[in-house]
Amino acid sequence: MQTYNIRDAKTQLSRLVDRAAKGESFVIAKAGKPMVKVVALDAPETPRVRRFGYLAGKISVPGDFDTMGAEDIEKMFVGAGGKP
């Protein structure tokens, strides 16, 4: 991917916009530091990489997960006496 300094991008803006519209993306940098990526509006988005299993062994789900806090939740909705 081509990188253009902001000064060069300003002087070549029309040409660069035409190139981006044709699907060629580029980066505009300020003082050598990349600032923005220019892409066509109808360009397909880059798919996100899904990393299955990257937390394996780092977290655990308790066996009673689906009933955890059931008593407290019931008290909030029904009341402490058990009657609505």
Task: Show the domains of the chain with their CATH numbers.
Answer: 2-38 (3.40.1620.10)
CA distance 17 to 24: 9
Three-state SS at 58: coil
The pair phi, psi for residue 50, each rounded to 5°, is: -95, 125
pTM for the structure as a whole = 0.50
Answer yes or no: is pLDDT of 84 > 60: no
pLDDT digits (tens, 9 = 90+) for 58-81: 888 888 888 888 888 888 888 766
CA distance 48 to 58: 23
Report residue 6's pLDDT band, with 50, 70 and 90 as the boundaries. Answer: very high
Answer yes or no: is pLDDT of 83 > 80: no
